[in-house]
A and B are shown apart, each in its own frame.
Chain A
Amino acid sequence: MIGLWSLPLLFALPLALGILSLLAVPAWRPRLIFVGLPLMAAASLDMLAGLVISGPQVYRLGDWIAPLGINLVADGLAVGMILITTLVTGLCALYARVYLRDHPPSTSFFWPLLWFLWTGMNGIWLAEDIFNLYVGLEVMGLAAVGMVALRATPPALAAAMRYLLAALLGSLAYLLGVALLYGAYGTLSMAGLQEAAAANATTQVALALIIVGLLLKTALFPLHAWLPPAHGGALTPVSALLSALVIKASFYILLRIWLVLGPEVTPDFTAGLLGVLGAGAVFYGGWMAWRQHHLKQLVAYSTVAQIGYLFLFFPLVTNTGPEAARLAWDGTLMMLFSHALAKAALFLSAGNLILAVGSPQISHLIGISRFRPMSLFSFGLAGVSLMGLPPSGGFTGKWLLLHSALLSGQWWWLIVLFLGGLLSAAYIFKVFRMSFREGPQIDRSVTPPLTLDMIALLLAASAILIGLTAHVPLHWLRVGMVFGAV
């Protein structure tokens, strides 16, 4: 049956390759991707084929049924996340193979960490019970911390340390919540919890712990302080992976748990509060991004801002009627996917620009539009999506969210989307303004390898394309979800 060989492969393969590359000599580590990437791509595409042909699938590890065994669920959302992970991680890996050549051999630990990261992420996308989600979260989080530390400079280590503390604190809170739920209901599976959970104090405390833990890991304002140094200071392919995918994982868990438990169990104000925090993130992150002098810090703060949009999901989906809720779901996922593509592209093209001028300062980009039009073009395309200007995934997502906000009568979110777009335009054009300025000619502009430019361009172009063909991914993402029946 389709999908059955590929599902275990999605964990087993990256895990095996991770261990293998740990054992290999540094020079051989990058070469493993030529084995791993085609296989991962094939497995991911097979999952898609399985979804298209036979709908959402449940896979029982070792054929044990639910309370005892581990269930893996491949519905539309999970398969979508697997595909975007394979695409972005694969491209970042190809980028890193070229990028890391000029870095000290110690950075070759990137490769085992990459595979472990991938294992953790795939685990999260497919897990059906809240404990396995925790396991995936820890594997992914530790690998991510290791990647931030790769640069081994004092600021990088400090950033990694902060990240580690935030990640551990977050998963600790999450785990406490899980323990409380298990103690109360004796089940870890989402379906089981949905049936059993009642709106009592235990559930509420457990859910509060889970939510706070996940917010910390997603770096939602005001719990975002660890993110800019970690994402902005890491090696370029690492920054791209962390911003595009890793923070999405904790959001994904939150989304799933909310749909199962949220509206019934939590007090009414919770959804609104999450939306308000999201709005705060949009404003604060955008404002801080605009104030940065360091290109990658700017991009990192842009992530803080963009996360905020995702959290508008909660007020828009809770008690708003089926049509508005479906639009909010579509809009949030469109935002999530286009941000994954656009932010990876933005980090990679920023890395290319930094390679070209040899300085991370934005003010050193004077006149760069003459020398590196390609890198700047990718930066611009990705920027279009982040600003939410058409034609792009960011625009389509914003359109859907606007639509949902108007339909549910929550007009105040319009202001967030409106000002958020203008703020992102301000920080994106800050970079452009500098690049168009005619100043003293830089003769030390070096040409990065063409591969690096092409990968950034490919990601940026995908962020645009996904907006133009949005109805196709959105259709499949709804398969097997509560929003499927529309």
Chain B
Amino acid sequence: MDWNGLVLLSVLATSLVASGVILLLAESRVVLRSVFNLAAAVLKLLLVLWIILGVYRNVDYELRFTIIEGVDFILRADALGIMFVGLSSLLWLFTTIYAIGYLERAPNRSRFFGFFSLCVASTVGIALAGNLFTFLLFYELLTLSTYPLVVHRGTRESLRAGQVYLYYTLGGGALLLFGVVALHVLVGDTEFVPGGSLSGIDPSLHPLLIGIFLMMVVGLGVKAALFPLHAWLPMAMVAPAPVSALLHAVAVVKAGAFGIARVVYDVYGIEFAYSLGLLGPLAVAASITIVYGSLRALTQDDLKKRLAFSTISQVSYIILGISLFGPVGTIGGLVHLLHQGLMKITLFFCAGNYAETLGVHKISELDGAGERMPATSVAFTLGALGMIGIPPLAGFVSKWYLGIGALSAGMNWVLAVLILSSLLNAAYFLPILYRIWFRKRDRVWCEGKALGWFETSGWLLFPTLATAAFALIAGLLAGMPFSPLYWAELIVSREYLQ
């Protein structure tokens, strides 16, 4: 094992070791646990930055060993994977800070933070997986490690949500497993290579490949919450806010979307997938999900539920971008993977802040919250406007590229979907902003957290502001080196110039 493989392993190990240690720590060791957890998160972020620079300079990071003959365990950092790793490790740090504040004095914190770290380890594994087998391994590990977080509160409702979550994800995982095994039988170990590796296959097997693609996309679509496989996501909202933030912005839904990207780009290859006629139906499925999610979001009064349906809709932008044949659409989809993560985590942090500080869970109770919590409300506003796609925020960049991509792929109807969905986004976000800023407060809030210098606990406020700032910068400075857009363009140049 060379030095670079070791670096790669340590990125995975930071959160894996953290998870093990935290699970073993006694409940009362609060300070030790927090210090350890944050140290691991910072260390991981530094390692990831190091690898990002390396990948930029075309250094190979690879680690492999044999599991059974013909099946290897492969970790490899390529441009696409490291983008997802970067997002997860950045947001892991912020979510950990946030969760320390959020769960202050709550029971079962060792269990929570332990599985939280395990979740991140699985996400990193998914991102760095170098073949379908390794991907599958971490994909299932993610299912297992998120279950304890969904049922964390131990109430009847959260146990029910956990059960539904398992039905969907284990079923989806089994479908994915079949797809992967079937592909394995056909062509052997399928490593991820830019441009895909299947285009040379015997044409008589094409119908089989279409079936396998369908199976894998349905399996992955469960986690990506593609309509009609989305029902677990709004139910999982009973989990604590940091979990919702992590599940929705980073880990689970992105793992699904990322998996679809891997299958389309690095297994089938975008051109081969296009020639099999697989991209059109995928675009339709994504478009239906986009509109459906937005429509359902309109009618939710529970803030987190509305955000959840918004997630369902927004994640499908990524899938839509993947299914648009041509570099511009791909850029739009991939950049949204990062942008949506930053914006949505901000929104969930804000929802958590309102709930913890004011005891407000419903949108109809938010009247005048801007006056009481200006900083949180500014962050919320930035996130919401970004989601709608107002320039120069991050969401605008994504939608711009998606639109151009649709036109250049000759799928003009996608433009209509984008416009409709932006209108719907505005229709469900602007009333919230109106209530926050322009209505007068009409009720007494039960003030949850003891107040220090700020409008709410600093543990909650700073991560919120930080992610909001990142979302703002990602849009404002989209043209600068190492911005999300810059990186997405780098990936696309490597994918299409094979």
Q: B179-191: contact bitstring with A at CB < 8 Å (1 yes, 0 no)?
A: 0011011000000
Nearest-CB residue, chain B, relative to A474:
B68
Contact status A369-B66, CB under 8 Å: no
CB pair A421–B153 under 8 Å, yes or no, is no
A391 adjacent to B162 (CB under 8 Å): no
B12 in the interface, Cβ–Cβ < 8 Å? no
Residues of B within 8 Å of A377, CB to CB, are 23
**Across the A-B interface, how many residue pairs have beta carbons closer than 8 Å?**
86
Once A369-B108, A406-B181, A433-B162 are accepted as A-B contacts, the answer to whether A438 and B153 lie under 8 Å apart by CB is: yes
Contact of A437 among B136, B154, B178, B182 (CB under 8 A): B154
A139 in contact (CB, < 8 A): no
Q: Does A414 reach chain B (CB closer than 8 Å)?
A: yes
Please classify how large the interface on chain B is, using the bins under 10, 10 to 19, 20 to 34, 35 or more.
Answer: 35 or more
In the complex, what distance in Å separates the CA atom of A437 from the CA atom of B143? 19
Contact of A418 among B152, B154, B163, B174 (CB under 8 A): B174
Cα distance, A395 to B143, chains bound together (Å): 15
Give B171's nearest chain A residue, CB to CB. Answer: A422
**A367-B154, A418-B174, A433-B162 are contacts. A396–B68 as well, Cβ < 8 Å?**
yes
Query: B143 contacts which chain A residues (CB < 8 A)?
Result: 389
A471 within 8 A of B: yes
With a cutoff of 8 Å between Cβ atoms, the chain B residues found around residue A414 in the complex are 178
Residue of B nearest to A399 (CB): B181
Interchain CB contact under 8 A, B68 and A373: no
Q: Is the Cβ of A418 less than 8 Å from the Cβ of B136?
A: no
Q: How far is the CB of A294 from chain B (nearest CB, A)?
A: 21
> Mask for A429-446, Cβ within 8 A of B = 1, else 0?
100110011110000000
Given contacts A399-B71, A471-B68, contact A422 B170 (CB under 8 A): yes
Is there a chain B Cβ closer than 8 Å to A97's Cβ? no
Interface residues of A in 403-439 (CB under 8 A from B): 403, 406-407, 414, 418, 421-422, 425, 429, 432-433, 436-439
Q: B459 contacts the other chain (Cβ, under 8 Å)? A: no
Interface contact B151-A436, CB-CB below 8 Å: yes
Q: Which residues of B contact A399 (CB under 8 A)?
A: 68, 71, 177, 181
Partner of A406, one of B67, B107, B182: B182
If the complex has contacts A390-B136, A402-B181, A406-B185, are A438 and B155 also in contact, measured as CB distance less than 8 A? yes
CB distance from B114 to the nearest CB of A (A): 9
Q: A399-B181, A402-B177, A425-B166 are in contact. Are A370 and B108 (CB under 8 A)?
A: yes
B4-33 vs A, CB cutoff 8 Å, 1 = contact: the mask equals: 000000000000000000010000000000
> Which B residues are in CB contact (< 8 Å) with A370?
107-108, 111
Is A369 a contact partner of B111 (Cβ separation < 8 A)?
A: yes
Asked if A418 and B140 make an inter-chain contact with CB atoms under 8 angstroms apart, the answer reads no
In whole angstroms, how far apart are the Cα atoms of A355 and B148 in the complex? 23
CB of B486 within 8 Å of the partner chain = no
Chain B 121-148 per-residue mask, 1 if CB under 8 angstroms from chain A, else 0? 0000000000000001100110110011
Contact call A330/B68, Cβ cutoff below 8 A? yes
B108 touches A421 (CB 8 A): no
A425 to B, closest residue via Cβ: B170
**Given contact pairs A396-B67, A399-B71, A422-B171, A433 touches B141 in the complex (Cβ within 8 A):** no
Given contacts A391-B141, A429-B147, 13 further A-B contacts (CB under 8 A): A330-B68, A369-B108, A389-B143, A391-B137, A395-B137, A396-B67, A396-B68, A414-B178, A436-B162, A468-B67, A469-B67, A471-B67, A474-B68
Residues on B facing A (Cβ under 8 Å): 23, 66-69, 71, 73, 107-108, 110-111, 136-137, 140-141, 143-144, 147-148, 151-155, 159, 162-163, 166, 170-171, 173-174, 177-178, 181-182, 184-185
20 A–B contacts from the bound complex (CB under 8 Å): A367-B154, A370-B107, A370-B108, A373-B23, A389-B140, A391-B141, A395-B137, A402-B177, A403-B181, A414-B178, A418-B174, A425-B166, A425-B170, A437-B159, A439-B154, A468-B67, A468-B73, A471-B66, A474-B68, A474-B69
